């Protein structure tokens, strides 16, 4: 074989070897789990799956078990206590160091019945894409409805005309006055800077021009937050359980949208009007940019709110636009403690088109005296096609389809979900506290649930049978 033929055969052999290796690599890539990218339009209907990396579990030891005893037990199982949840007696976060599955670790602790109340995996919470409603046309108001428009009563925010949940004039195929009666409520109160609402979500874009004046800022007479495991946290604008603990900046958008519904600054000549023109929004971040968080991080944020309330911050409401069918005893205990501290917890009923009485959606379905579960309505006063319902477990309804609110980067967007209905009720709760700041959790909850417009579409679907009415709630005529 001459040298030329030899080099040709050698090149061919190398090429074949390379192609075989490349084909094998392609097969390996194809067998790898594909990443799931979360769109910026996602809102709610979350799913929960056990958090695998780190094998973290939430364990509540029985009363009287000392921290030293807890540590000794965890060390005997080659685990370590990562954190203690101060607001719930005996609740700790334990991290396995054996490489075991989280459910296996939880089972080990559940086996210690004389020492442990419960043990559960630290579940991952993931936001899923929002649901769409269809069938809305252009503005088709009747002449009488057009005559009723009284722009002089409206705030000067240029996009207020698109906020049908506050003033439904029949725009885009809606039903006249299928709204929360905000204009009449505003005759009584437009909110108060003394009311603090915590938005438990993906954080809040506190630099948004329509939100920044209504963002909570830790007052000088309140010390920085101190956590047993985290140490001292510079919580100037709230709290983040992920990333930089002192910075609850939203990098997802969901929390910013919810915050604007509650408290975008009203009558400031820009964007939209929140249900409260003046209020303090406390940003809480437990969901990251990719749209996921964990039960532990949600509890950490609730723990923070309870601590701030006890330190003197007048925070009375937690607005929670997320959830799942997975029940967590640890999360239930944390919400119960928030109620004991005087905090109402308003939660999304879920976007699964399901009967929550048969298929509970948590945290909205916990049967606690400080929880309100919220269903979503469209602009025709109909239960949204995606909304969960339940004559027992879902309490009230509010607008939740095509809701215009604040978004990242100073923008404004429309989104749909029980995620949007929830801050509608939270916003009304804040209006009530602006007028009656001394109401107990029970009194505030009762006031909201009694302040509804009864709707045939909600008969047998929510326990009150009605949509929240802000004017009734604040006592306006």
CA dihedral 84, 86, 91, 96 (to 10 degrees): -10
Does the active-site annotation cover 208?
no
Structural tokens at position 361: 């959606």
Tokens 């006031």 sit at which residue? 447
| SS3 (DSSP) at 105 | helix
Selecting among 192, 321, 419, 426, the annotated active-site residue is 419
Q: Which of 265, 275, 257, 214 is nearest to 398 (CA)?
A: 275
Q: Which of 313, 314, 200, 302 is nearest to 258 (CA)?
A: 200
Q: Work out whether strand 466-468 and strand 344-348 pair parallel, antiparallel, or are unpaired.
A: unpaired
Does the active-site annotation cover 201?
yes
Tokens 């409520």 sit at which residue? 185
Structural tokens at position 314: 């007048």
Contact 423, 177 (CB under 8 A): no
Q: Work out whether strand 466-468 and strand 403-406 pair parallel, antiparallel, or are unpaired.
A: unpaired
Count of CA atoms in the C-beta half-sphere (13 A) of 63: 0
Q: In what helix (H) or strand (E) does residue 310 lie, and over which residues does it extend?
A: helix 295-311
- Sheet (strand 47-50) strand order: 47-50, 123-126, 292-294
Identify the DSSP state of 37. Answer: P
Does the active-site annotation cover 419?
yes
Work out the widest C-alpha separation in the chain, in whole angstroms.
104
Contact 417, 370 (CB under 8 A): no
CA distance 401 to 257: 13
Instruction: Compute φ and ψ for 226, nearest 5 degrees.
Output: -125, 125
Cis peptide before 315 (omega within 30 of 0): no
Q: Which of 439, 470, 446 is nearest to 262 (CA)?
A: 470
Selecting among 254, 257, 361, 395, the annotated active-site residue is 254
HEC per residue, 189-241: CCEEEEEEEEEEEECCCCCCCCCHHHECCCCCCCCCEEECCCEEECCCCCEEC
Q: Which of 291, 177, 303 is nearest to 235 (CA)?
A: 303
Selecting among 83, 201, 210, 235, the annotated active-site residue is 201
| SS3 (DSSP) at 367 | coil
Residues classed as catalytic: 201, 254, 419
């Amino acid at each position: 074989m001459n040298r030329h033929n030899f080099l040709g055969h050698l090149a061919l052999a190398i090429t074949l070897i390379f192609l075989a290796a490349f084909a094998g690599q392609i097969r390996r890539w194809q067998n790898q789990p594909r990443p799931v990218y979360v769109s910026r339009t996602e809102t709610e209907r979350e799913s929960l799956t056990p958090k695998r990396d780190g094998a973290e579990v939430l364990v509540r030891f029985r009363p009287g078990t000392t921290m030293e005893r807890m540590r000794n037990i965890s060390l005997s199982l080659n685990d370590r206590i990562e954190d203690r949840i101060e607001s719930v007696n005996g609740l700790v976060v334990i991290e396995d160091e054996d490489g075991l599955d989280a459910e296996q670790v939880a089972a080990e602790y559940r086996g210690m019945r004389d020492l442990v109340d419960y043990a559960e995996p630290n579940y991952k919470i993931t936001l899923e894409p929002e649901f769409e409603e269809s069938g809305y046309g252009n503005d088709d108001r009747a002449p009488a409805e057009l005559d009723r428009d009284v722009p002089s009563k409206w705030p000067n925010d240029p996009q207020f005309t698109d906020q049908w949940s506050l003033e439904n004039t029949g725009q885009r195929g809606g039903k006249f006055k299928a709204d929360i009666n905000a204009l009449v409520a505003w005759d009584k109160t437009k909110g108060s800077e003394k009311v603090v609402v915590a938005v438990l979500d993906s954080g809040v874009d506190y630099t948004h021009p329509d939100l920044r004046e209504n963002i909570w800022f830790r007052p000088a007479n309140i010390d920085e937050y101190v956590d047993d495991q985290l140490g001292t946290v510079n919580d100037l604008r709230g709290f983040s359980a992920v990333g930089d603990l002192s910075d609850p900046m939203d990098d997802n958008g969901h929390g910013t949208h919810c915050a604007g519904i509650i408290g975008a600054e009203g009558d400031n000549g820009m964007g939209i009007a929140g249900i409260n023109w003046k209020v303090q929004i406390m940003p809480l971040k437990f969901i990251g940019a990719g749209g996921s968080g964990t039960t532990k991080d949600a509890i950490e944020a609730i723990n923070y709110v309870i601590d701030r309330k006890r330190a003197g911050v007048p925070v009375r409401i937690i607005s929670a636009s997320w959830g799942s069918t997975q029940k967590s005893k640890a999360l239930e205990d944390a919400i119960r403690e928030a109620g004991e501290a005087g905090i109402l917890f308003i939660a999304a009923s879920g976007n699964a088109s399901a009967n929550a009485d048969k298929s509970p959606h948590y945290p909205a379905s916990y049967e606690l005296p400080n929880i309100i579960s919220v269903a979503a309505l469209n602009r025709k006063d109909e239960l949204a096609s995606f909304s969960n319902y339940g004559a027992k477990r879902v309490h009230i309804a509010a607008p939740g389809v095509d809701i215009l609110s604040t978004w990242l980067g100073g923008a404004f967007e429309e989104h749909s979900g029980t995620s949007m209905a929830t801050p509608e009720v939270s916003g009304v709760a804040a209006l009530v506290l602006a007028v009656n700041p001394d109401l107990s959790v029970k009194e505030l909850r009762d006031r909201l649930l009694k302040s509804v417009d009864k709707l045939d579409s909600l008969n047998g679907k929510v326990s009150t049978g009605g949509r929240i009415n802000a004017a009734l709630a604040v006592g306006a005529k």
